[in-house]
Chains A and B, each alone.
Chain A
């Protein structure tokens, strides 16, 4: 079984279902453990402020991993993602206020790349607190 979205059924401009991902300090501690990235800017408010950040910030790689879920939940098979790249434009600031932050992700098909390989380019938009947190966020996806 390949990806459940058929190449012939999508067009340039097809929108993927948008999603929002909540992020709290707990999320960041968990991601630090799983990824091995223990940089204190992702869990220690005192340290984050000392290096000039407004507060603890999410791992860029956490934001990147969250955003691509809009693509992998769409295709079903995460192996359909052939290429994926982002620019980290603004940090996701995660206050310790019981609510944290929200990463809002939308995506649409920007180009049909190769009829034989059934690949499309999906452009993603990720914002948090009204700020764009990822730039040049693009995935190349192989469809069924």
Chain B
């Protein structure tokens, strides 16, 4: 059964703040083999005009995806997560995520579509710093493949 269109626009409660640490940024940058000093050296980051080390552009995904769990696990929506693959991913930054940020995500359902029997769900995450400053908007598109027919 296709997902219900009436869920478009549904907004979920903001998540408790995630505190971005310098060492977590370093760990992430090392895991993607990225030696850019803006991720590990506060002085290098300051030379680029940032108050502290910044995180790579995709770092915030883990925080936004965890918040998107509210949608994935929403029993009323009824998404079959065992059939879900990550279709598209997009980030729109107001500014880079940086060490010391306390980030809260407000998740909403951006769109629900049915394409060739697949459910396509786009989840938007508005990521704010505790001060109220907008940091980044994330768009996670999840594709739930149609159940395979027995042949």
In-complex Cβ contact of B28 among A35, A66, A73, A81 (8 A): A35
B56-A34 in contact (CB<8A): no
Contacts of B61 in A (CB 8 A): 35, 61
Which residue of chain B has the shortest Cβ distance to A2 in the bound complex? B49
Q: Report whether over half of chain B's contact residues are helix, strand or loop; otherwise say mixed.
A: mixed
A86-B92 in contact (CB<8A): no
User: Would A73 and B36 be within 8 Å (CB), given that A2-B48, A2-B49 are in contact?
Assistant: yes
A79-B89 in contact (CB<8A): no
Give B61-109 interface residues, CB cut-off 8 Å to A: 61-62, 65-66, 85-93, 95-96
A85-B58 in contact (CB<8A): no
Contacts of A35 in B (CB 8 A): 28, 31, 61-62
Q: Contact string, A35-75, partner B, CB cutoff 8 A, digits 1/0?
A: 11100000000000000000000001110111011001100
Contacts of A60 in B (CB 8 A): 86, 89
Point out which of A30, A34, A61, A62 has the most chain B C-beta atoms below 10 A from its C-beta: A34
Q: How many residues of A contact B (CB 8 A)?
A: 35
Contacts of A81 in B (CB 8 A): 57, 93
Closest Cβ–Cβ distance, residue A94 to chain B (whole Å)? 15
Closest Cβ–Cβ distance, residue A7 to chain B (whole Å)? 16
Contacts of B93 in A (CB 8 A): 81-83
Residues of B within 8 A of A (CB): 27-28, 30-34, 36, 38-39, 47-50, 54, 56-58, 61-62, 65-66, 85-93, 95-96, 139
Query: Which 4 pairs from chain A and chain B are nearest by CB?
Result: A85-B90, A34-B31, A77-B48, A79-B96
